Chains A and B, each alone.
Chain A
Amino acid sequence: MTTTVFTDARIVDPSRDLDEIGTVIVADGKIQAAGASARNQGIPGGAEVINARGKTIMPGLVDARVFVGEPGAEHRETIASAGQAAAAGGVTSLIMMPDTDPVIDDVALVEFVLRAARDHAAVNIYPSAAITRGLKGLEMTEFGLLRQAGAVAFTDGRHTVADSAVLRRAMTYARDFGAVVAHETADPYLSVGVMNEGLFASWLGVSGVPREAEIIPLERDLRLARLTRVNYHAAKISTAVSADVVSRAKQDGASVTAGVAIHSLALNEHDIGEYRTFFRLAPPLRAEDDRLAMIEALKNGTLDIIVSSHDPQDVDTKRLPFADAAVGAVGLETLLAVALRLYHNDQVPLARLVDALSTAPARIFGLPAGTLKPGAPADLILVDLDHPWVVTEADLASRSKNSCFEGARLQGKVLQTLVSGRTVLKV
Chain B
Amino acid sequence: MTDAPAFPLFPHRHLLGIQNLSPSDIVSLLDRADAAVALSRQPDKKTSALRGRTQINLFYEASTRTQASFELAGKRLGADVMNMSVASSSVKKGETLIDTAMTLNAMRPDILIIRHAMAGAAALLAQKVGCSVVNAGDGAHEHPTQALLDALTIRRAKGDLSCLIVAICGDVLHSRVARSNILLLNALGARVRVIAPSTLLPSGIHQMSVDVFNRMDDGLKDADVVMMLRLQRERMTGAFVPSVREYFHFFGLDAAKLRLAKPDALVMHPGPMNRGVEIASEIADGPQSVIQEQVEMGVAVRMAVMQALLDPRRDEAAA
Binding site for B on A (CB under 8 A): 132-133, 138-145, 169, 172-173, 175-176, 228
6 closest pairs, A vs B, by CB? A139-B238, A142-B246, A142-B242, A176-B214, A172-B198, A173-B199
Q: Give per-residue flags for B240-259: 1 if the beta carbon is below 8 A from chain A beta carbons, else 0.
A: 11110110011000000000
CA distance A172 to B199 in the complex (A): 6
Inter-chain contact A173/B237, CB cutoff 8 Å = no
Inter-chain contact B238/A138, CB cutoff 8 Å = yes
Q: Which of B197, B199, B215, B250 has the most CB of A within 10 A?
A: B199
Name which residue of chain B comes closest to A143, CB basis. B242
Minimum distance in angstroms from A178 CB to a CB of chain B: 10
Inter-chain contact B198/A139, CB cutoff 8 Å = no
Kindly identify which residue among B197, B215, B245, B249 contacts A173, using a CB–CB cutoff of 8 Å: B197
Instruction: Name the A residues within 8 Å of B238 (CB-CB).
Output: 132-133, 138-141
* Complex A-B: 12 CB contacts under 8 Å: A139-B237, A140-B239, A141-B238, A141-B242, A142-B242, A144-B242, A145-B242, A172-B197, A172-B198, A172-B199, A173-B241, A228-B198
Inter-chain contact B249/A169, CB cutoff 8 Å = no
Instruction: Name the A residues within 8 Å of B245 (CB-CB).
Output: 142, 145
Minimum distance in angstroms from B66 CB to a CB of chain A: 30
CA distance A160 to B242 in the complex (A): 19
Question: A139-B238, A169-B240, A176-B214 are contacts. A145–B249 as well, Cβ < 8 Å?
Answer: yes
CA distance A229 to B240 in the complex (A): 17
CA distance A139 to B240 in the complex (A): 9
Instruction: Name the B residues within 8 Å of A175 (CB-CB).
Output: 198
Instruction: Name the B residues within 8 Å of A139 (CB-CB).
Output: 237-239, 242
CA distance A396 to B245 in the complex (A): 44
Kindly identify which residue among B239, B240, B249 contacts A144, using a CB–CB cutoff of 8 Å: B249
Name which residue of chain A comes closest to B238, CB basis. A139
Inter-chain contact A169/B242, CB cutoff 8 Å = no
Question: A139-B237, A139-B242, A169-B239 are contacts. A144–B250 as well, Cβ < 8 Å?
Answer: yes
CA distance A169 to B203 in the complex (A): 13
Instruction: Name the B residues within 8 Å of A133 (CB-CB).
Output: 238
Name which residue of chain B comes closest to A176, CB basis. B214
Instruction: Name the B residues within 8 Å of A144 (CB-CB).
Output: 242, 246, 249-250
CA distance A138 to B250 in the complex (A): 22
Quick one: which of B184-237 are within 8 Å of A by CB?
Answer: 197-199, 214-215, 237
Minimum distance in angstroms from A127 CB to a CB of chain B: 17
Quick one: which of B248-288 are within 8 Å of A by CB?
Answer: 249-250
Minimum distance in angstroms from B141 CB to a CB of chain A: 22
CA distance A295 to B56 in the complex (A): 74
Instruction: Name the B residues within 8 Å of A143 (CB-CB).
Output: 242, 246
Instruction: Name the B residues within 8 Å of A169 (CB-CB).
Output: 199, 239-240
Instruction: Name the A residues within 8 Å of B240 (CB-CB).
Output: 169
Inter-chain contact B198/A145, CB cutoff 8 Å = no
16 additional A-B pairs beyond A140-B239, A141-B238, A143-B242, beta carbons within 8 Å, are A132-B238, A139-B237, A139-B238, A139-B239, A140-B241, A142-B245, A143-B246, A144-B250, A169-B199, A169-B240, A172-B197, A172-B199, A173-B199, A173-B242, A176-B198, A176-B214
Inter-chain contact A176/B197, CB cutoff 8 Å = yes
Q: Which of B198, B237, B250 has the most CB of A within 10 A?
A: B198
Minimum distance in angstroms from B234 CB to a CB of chain A: 12
Minimum distance in angstroms from A138 CB to a CB of chain B: 7
Inter-chain contact B243/A142, CB cutoff 8 Å = yes
Kindly identify which residue among A132, A138, A145, A228 contacts B246, using a CB–CB cutoff of 8 Å: A145
Minimum distance in angstroms from B213 CB to a CB of chain A: 10
Minimum distance in angstroms from B301 CB to a CB of chain A: 35
CA distance A138 to B242 in the complex (A): 11
